[in-house]
């Protein structure tokens, strides 16, 4: 394996991490706001806050890690994506800021502020939309070079059916992932009311997820035939993903083994995510930028890999500690102790 | 290609984001250390007041850290969004510390989460102290790495340029650039100093508002002592920074000092106003600039006239330099009087007027911090990468920067007001007297 592949694999892995834990976060915000508006707050809010409060900052770091790593390994991406993403990324930052500050403000300040929970919930839906625009752009066709500078075709982007199918997928996936995770978490907390409600959400959001995936396949075939052809080459990965999805939904339907359902959910998205990534190879931005012509020099690549390994040795035990304390600690999940400072 | 507007607005937006971010970032770097020290003193003296101090500080810290994290994410992305050409070039050489910064940040985030949400889970206070150590280390290390990036922009090295291409890249050498030691040192100690004085100011304010609890007096004395130590360290490292500038960036020091002609035995100009090259109303301290620059009263100091006109920074940085140095000096003298007076049991340090000055010390330190950063950043105009790339060549070509500037102004307004309101409400609703009473009630309840 060469350094380019290693670099992008590491980054893709972190982006995957962000997709999963970010989705739980975004979706939870939406369900929380929805429950406030429909007067069912007492069912969900405790479960959601107990999980999210200690980890919101960690969630954010996954994203920071991804974009800092991308510019580090592939400095040319700063030139193409930096210039063109100013507006969507800035909107993303503003939404992230609203969410990031919400936890701290909410946990310690004005508990139960309706307007803020609402904004928070809406931000949770707009964020995946704003961030997924990057995926659409990477498919090519929206960036052209004018006087040697990349320019984004906003009109083309907003009127493209591909954009909207990716946005729908992002939102549906967020709500589905979040609902499955929270079903498991609520069940672990022996909270029957929350489990039932979240189980219902999980089943509901499975439907648009399937529709959006089919929509994207159709659109991509038209928009970027090369990419589509490469996706067909790794069809078996998508099939594994689909099988995992079906079993997850079945388990949730049968109300059994939520832990297995959660594992399969992660597996399903991992296979789909990596299959998508592999078929995108070798382009970072079709057709302007490949993995190879944007890669940093060898000395920096080696330094980054070493830093990455060293950093990982620090992070894995720490993350394990977090999981042990907040995800697998029965007393904490059930809220027997109100532990925060 | 004309992107004059984009350059201008990119500069304004970056300055706005950074100026807002550094207030929270500085607190984010300094306060974990202050919490850790309070916790440690509490364990050592077996005094519950210090443990409570640590706990209450941590609660307030969550709010500032949240704003620090989100504005830090903003500036992290804005580097690529507003300065794509710079990041494309410099990313080849300086990605390593940026990358390491995210690890430090990660490390801090993990343990901060654990620390905040495991309170009262452990009987032993030492375990809380153990959780605080990685938080403080992570916070300081992220400041170290990000300051290394900034130092690199001032003193780029670790690469060669052949036909416009960067070759022979040495990432570690780029990190160990000559500006690094003084920059990193200065940033760290000023963060500790500012945090200490801000916390002392809060304690003094509570006492002035009629709180008679011994808790505030303990907190005040602890943080004034720490403030004194770190402000003296700031002075020492600040002096090294000046000597660094003489060696590597003489035009920055010359502009900050309004020193136009190269001369021996150069005087130091304090205050004053400038009109063209004519300096009015300034206090001249003979030989002082030579001493500052070379530790030798008759040494020669290079003047601003030696440099091409289009490569010198704007002259208003002198006012920033004055502000920073004056406040720093004042805080040293003032905190020394307080600490000395406390030991000698002088009466006037417990008087109201003296405490009001302590209260002013908090905001003053933050003003000095801002002035110092503006001096450092504006002082390397017109370069973004000193001697390699000018600011105008680095900026985005996007036409929407002005609109983004408006959006971010609104965001920072909301975050700024929100954080202050939440903090005030948090401590007003739960004053220390109430918290101590609650804890005692809990204890006796548990004992029964």
DSSP secondary structure letter of residue B261: S
- Give me the half-sphere count of Cα atoms (radius 13 Å) on the Cβ side of residue A320: 6
B336, burial (CB in 10 Å: exposed 0-12, middle 13-18, buried 19+): middle
- Contact residues on chain A for B415, CB-CB shorter than 8 A: 97, 101
What whole-number distance in Å separates Cα of residue A183 and Cα of residue A254?
A: 13
Query: How many angstroms away from the CA of A104 is the closest CA of chain B?
Result: 5
**3-state secondary structure (DSSP) of residue B113:** helix
**Angle ∠(B117,B122,B127) on CA atoms, nearest 5:** 90
- Whole-number Å distance between alpha carbons of B253 and B244: 10
Which tokens is A140 given? 């090519």
Contact B411/A296, CB-based, under 8 Å? no
Q: C-alpha dihedral over A84, A88, A90, A92, to 10 degrees?
A: -140
The residue among A303, A287, A304, A289 whose CA lies nearest residue A77 is: A289
Judge: A94–B407 Cβ closer than 8 Å, yes or no.
Answer: yes
3-class SS of residue B328: helix
CB contact set of B65 (below 8 Å; sequence gap of 6+): A57, A104, B24, B28, B112
pLDDT value for B353? 87
Residue B366 corresponds to which tokens in the numbers above?
A: 């933050």
CB B178 within 8 A of CB B244: yes
Q: Which of B175, B38, B28, B40 is nearest to B98 (CA)?
A: B175
- Choose the mutation target among B113, B166, B400, B442 for the interface with A, i.e. most A CBs under 10 Å: B113
Structure confidence at residue A341 (pLDDT): 64
How confident is the model over B240-253, as a mean pLDDT?
86
pLDDT in tens, B373-431: 999 999 888 888 777 777 777 777 777 888 889 999 999 998 899 889 888 888 888 77
Record: contact B172-A304, CB cut-off 8 A? no
Is residue A53 pLDDT above 50, yes or no? Answer: yes
Distance of alpha carbon B223 from alpha carbon B211, whole angstroms: 18
pLDDT over 50 (residue B448)? no
Question: CA nearest B93 in A: which residue?
Answer: A300
Phi-psi group of B387: left, alpha or beta (phi > 0 → left; psi -120 to 50 → alpha; rest → beta):
left
Are residues B76 and A97, on separate chains, in Cβ contact within 8 Å?
no
* ipTM rounded to 2 decimals: 0.84
* Closest by Cβ to A83, choosing from B55, B67, B396: B396
Q: d(Cα A85, Cα A68) in Å, to the nearest integer?
A: 15
Identify the residue with better confidence: B112 or B4: B112
3-class SS of residue B196: helix
User: Are B73 and A63 in contact (CB < 8 Å)?
Assistant: yes
Q: Is the pTM of this model over 0.90?
A: no
- Quick check: B95 and A73 CB within 8 A? yes
B265 dihedral zone (left: phi>0; alpha: psi -120 to 50; beta): left
Tokens of B268: 């130091």
Interhelix angle B401-429/B4-45, rounded to 10 degrees, is 20
Residue A191 has what DSSP assignment?
-
CA–CA min distance A82, chain B (Å): 4
Q: Which of B87, B92, B116 sits opposite A297 (nearest CB)?
A: B92
- Residue A113: predicted pLDDT: 66
Is A304–B107 a contact, with Cβ atoms under 8 angstroms apart? no
| Residue of chain A minimizing CA distance to B66 | A101
Determine the Cα–Cα distance for residues A218 and A184; give it in Å rounded to an integer: 33
Q: How far is CA B67 from CA B26, B35, B95, B420, in A?
A: 12, 19, 25, 11
CA distance B105 to B97: 12
Q: Identify the pLDDT of residue B1.
A: 44
Q: Is the confidence at residue B447, as pLDDT, over 50?
A: no
Going by their DSSP bridges, the two strands B263-264 and B165-167 should be labelled as: unpaired
Structural domain boundaries in chain B: 3-262+302-447
Span A286-335, pLDDT tens digits? 777 888 877 888 888 888 888 888 888 887 888 888 888 877 777 777 77
Q: Strand B273-275 and strand B300-301: pairing? A: unpaired
Note the pLDDT tens digit of each residue in A85-118. Answer: 888 888 888 888 888 787 777 766 555 567 777 8
């Amino acid at each position: 394996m060469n350094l380019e592949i290693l670099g992008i694999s590491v980054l893709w892995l972190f982006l995957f991490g962000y997709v999963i834990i970010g989705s739980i976060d975004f979706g939870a915000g939406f369900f929380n706001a929805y429950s406030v508006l429909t007067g069912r707050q007492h069912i969900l809010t405790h479960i959601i806050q107990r999980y999210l409060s200690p980890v919101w900052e960690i969630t954010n770091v996954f994203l920071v890690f991804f974009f800092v790593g991308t510019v580090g390994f592939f400095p040319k991406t700063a030139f193409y994506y930096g210039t063109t993403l100013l507006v969507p990324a800035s909107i993303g930052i503003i939404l992230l800021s609203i969410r990031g500050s919400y936890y701290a403000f909410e946990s310690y300040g004005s508990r139960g502020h309706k307007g803020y929970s609402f904004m928070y919930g809406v931000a949770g839906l707009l964020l995946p939309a704003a961030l997924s625009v990057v995926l659409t752009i990477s498919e090519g066709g929206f960036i052209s070079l004018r006087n040697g500078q990349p320019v984004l075709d906003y009109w083309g982007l907003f009127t493209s059916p591909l954009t909207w199918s990716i946005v729908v997928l992002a939102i549906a996936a967020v709500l589905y992932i979040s609902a499955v995770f929270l079903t498991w978490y609520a069940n672990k907390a022996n909270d029957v009311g929350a489990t039932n409600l979240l189980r219902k959400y999980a089943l509901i959001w499975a439907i648009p997820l399937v529709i959006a995936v089919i929509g994207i396949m159709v659109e991509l075939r038209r928009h970027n035939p090369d990419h589509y052809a490469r996706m067909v080459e790794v069809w078996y990965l998508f099939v594994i993903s689909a099988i995992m999805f079906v079993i997850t939904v079945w388990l949730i339907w049968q109300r059994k083994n939520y832990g297995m359902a959660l594992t399969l959910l992660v597996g399903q998205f991992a296979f789909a995510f990596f299959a998508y990534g592999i078929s995108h190879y070798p382009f970072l931005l079709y057709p302007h930028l490949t993995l190879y012509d944007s890669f940093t020099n060898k000395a920096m690549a080696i330094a980054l890999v070493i830093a990455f390994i060293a950093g990982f040795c620090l992070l894995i035990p720490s993350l394990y500690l977090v999981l042990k304390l907040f995800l697998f600690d029965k007393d904490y999940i059930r809220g027997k102790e109100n532990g925060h400072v | 290609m004309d992107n004059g507007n984009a350059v201008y607005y990119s500069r304004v937006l970056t300055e706005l984001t950074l100026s807002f971010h550094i207030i929270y970032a500085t607190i984010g770097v300094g306060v974990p250390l202050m919490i850790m020290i309070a916790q440690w003193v509490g364990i050592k003296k077996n005094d519950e007041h210090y443990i409570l101090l640590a706990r209450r500080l941590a609660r307030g810290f969550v709010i500032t850290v949240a704003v620090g994290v989100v504005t830090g994410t903003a500036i992290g992305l804005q580097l690529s969004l507003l300065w794509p050409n710079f990041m494309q070039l410099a990313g080849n050489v300086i990605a390593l510390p940026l990358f390491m910064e995210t690890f430090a940040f990660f490390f801090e985030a993990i343990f901060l989460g654990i620390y905040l949400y495991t309170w009262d889970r452990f009987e032993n206070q030492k375990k809380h102290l153990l959780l605080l150590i990685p938080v403080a280390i992570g916070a300081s290390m992220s400041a170290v790495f990000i300051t290394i990036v900034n130092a690199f922009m001032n003193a780029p090295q670790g690469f060669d340029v052949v036909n416009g291409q960067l070759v022979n890249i040495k990432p570690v050498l780029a990190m160990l650039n000559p500006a690094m030691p003084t920059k990193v040192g200065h940033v760290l100690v000023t963060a500790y100093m500012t945090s200490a004085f801000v916390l002392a100011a809060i304690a003094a304010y509570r006492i002035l508002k009629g709180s008679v609890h011994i808790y505030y007096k303990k907190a005040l004395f602890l943080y004034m002592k720490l403030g004194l130590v770190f402000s003296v360290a700031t002075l020492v490292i600040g002096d090294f920074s000046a000597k660094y500038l003489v060696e590597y960036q003489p035009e920055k020091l010359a502009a900050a000092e309004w020193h136009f002609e190269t001369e021996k035995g150069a005087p130091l100009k304090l205050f004053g106003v400038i009109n063209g090259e004519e300096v009015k109303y300034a206090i001249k301290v003979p030989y002082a600039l030579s001493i500052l620059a070379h530790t030798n009263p008759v040494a020669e100091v290079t003047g601003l006239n030696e440099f091409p006109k289009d490569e010198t920074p704007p002259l208003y940085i002198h006012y920033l330099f004055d502000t920073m140095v004056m406040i720093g000096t004042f805080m040293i003298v003032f905190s020394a009087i307080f600490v000395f007076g406390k030991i000698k049991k002088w009466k006037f340090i417990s008087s109201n007027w003296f405490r009001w000055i302590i209260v002013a010390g908090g905001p003053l330190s933050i003003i000095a911090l801002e002035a110092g950063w503006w001096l450092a950043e504006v002082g390397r105009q017109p370069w973004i990468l000193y001697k390699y790339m000018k600011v105008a060549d680095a900026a985005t070509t996007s036409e929407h920067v002005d609109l983004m500037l408006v959006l971010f102004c609104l965001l920072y307004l909301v975050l700024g007001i929100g954080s202050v309101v939440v903090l005030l409400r948090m401590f007003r609703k739960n004053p220390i007297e109430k918290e101590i009473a609650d804890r005692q009630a809990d204890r006796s309840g548990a004992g029964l």
